[in-house]
Each structure stands twice: as C-alpha cells, then as structure tokens.
Amino acid sequence: MSAPSVAVIVFPGSNCDRDIAVTLEAALGHAPQMVWHGDSSLPKVDLIAVPGGFSYGDYLRSGAMAANSPIMREVVAQAGRGVPVLGICNGFQVLTECGLLPGVLMRNASLKFICRDVDLRVERSDTVFTSGYGAGDVIRVPVAHHDGNYFTDPDTLKSLEDNGRVAFRYCAPDGAITDAANPNGSLANIAGILNETGNVLGMMPHPERLADPLLGGTDGAPMFTALAEAIAA
C-alpha cells in the first residue's frame, strides 16, 4: 500500500503553509506536497489543506481573491469526489468564498486583531477530522485573525445545528458556551463547521500551532494524527 498523499495549497500571502506542512509531516511520517495557487491541477491526493495567512493581502474580502485561483476549481472538484479538505483561518474564509462551506467570516466584533489561545468544545467526534477527540472535550487552540466573526442566515444556521455540522464552538474552560468565551462575535459561538457530507472542515483557530510540546501544548495534535490514520486506512 502506498503512503497517503497530502497537498498544502500555497497562495501569495499565505504564512501558515509551513506550519501545517510541518505538523502534517510529523503525523504522516513524510512531507506533504506544496501546491502553488496558480496550478490548475492537483496530483492524486488523499487530503487537501488550505492554510492560514493573508492570501492576496486580504484585499476585497478575506479569501475572496484566493477563492478564484485556478487551483481552487480543482479543490472544489476533489471535495466533490469525497477527498477530505481542511481549511484553517484564512483557509476557512477561502472555503466559504468558493462555496464549499456556507456563511461568511466578517470583521471581529471588537474591530481588533485577536491573537491568543482560546478554549474550544468539540461538538462531534465521529468525523475524519475530530475522531481523535471525544464529543464534549475542551481543547486549547490559538486564534490569530481580524475577520473571524462567523455569520450566516437563520435557515442555514438551523440546518447546521439540526444536521450536526458544527464541529467546534468557542467555550469557557469548563465547556460552557458563553458570550464571554466568544472572542470574535461568531454566531452561536461557532469556531468550525462541516459541509453536508462531512469531508470539508473549516475552522478559524489554528490546531497546527499547538501540536508539539515545543510549541507549548499538544491539543491540536489529535486532529492530525486521526487524519493521518484515516487516510492511511
């Protein structure tokens, strides 16, 4: 059996592509492929990561220009075939802009850039992304964004809630969902959501930044370990 193949998409202005590449390499045992935004095709892959950063300098809207890069047409096609796609921070914004996930990431309610650790409650443990956790687990993960305020219309929010498509919520250390624990004003404290088929996850926090003891914590590591095991199976 061949080793699983992973692609990390790189845009002008990406600054977390190396972070996630290093984390994926630690989980997989080999380096992922770095794919330039201007490419129009992907190699055969088992997982696609759309990293954080400030693609195209966040001009127009965060993720809007990156969503129209040639490579994103192939990412959308691969997602439609069931390939897991993980979008983190700016990657989440790109996934909403290209239509793989519903809603929008607006300016933080404070109108300030936020860079600190937050607590997240794992809402589901039965997905390819979250099977390394238990439902209800509270994990500590960093955020670093100016436009992380998730919003959608009432019908879409109801659909997300009714169909278990909220993967993570901002919470207090004891797991309580409170306004005080919401760093950016996101609707229903949403920190990460899934698509209808569960193979696309977008989240604003950065699990790759707390996935090694040298980084000060390992709460993010189970996501990548579980992903590596799932795509190797």
By residue count, the chain amounts to 233
| Number of C-beta neighbours around residue 110 at 10 A | 12
Active-site choice (16, 89, 98, 171): 89
Q: Is 25 a catalytic residue?
A: no
Map tokens 């192939």 to a residue.
Answer: 74
Q: Is 171 a catalytic residue?
A: no
Q: How far apart are the first and last CA of the chain?
A: 10
From 22, 13, 54, select the one nearest 215 (Cα to Cα): 22
Q: Is 208 a catalytic residue?
A: yes
CA angle 168, 110, 54 (to 5 degrees): 70
CA angle 1, 17, 55 (to 5 degrees): 130
From 130, 137, 36, 49, select the one nearest 88 (Cα to Cα): 49
From 215, 197, 202, 222, select the one nearest 138 (Cα to Cα): 222
From 79, 81, 55, select the one nearest 68 (Cα to Cα): 55
93's tokens: 């914004």
Q: Is 170 helix (H, G, I), strand (E, B) or coil?
A: strand
Strands 85-88 and 200-203, how do they pair? parallel
Q: Looking at the annotation, which residues are catalytic?
A: 89, 206, 208
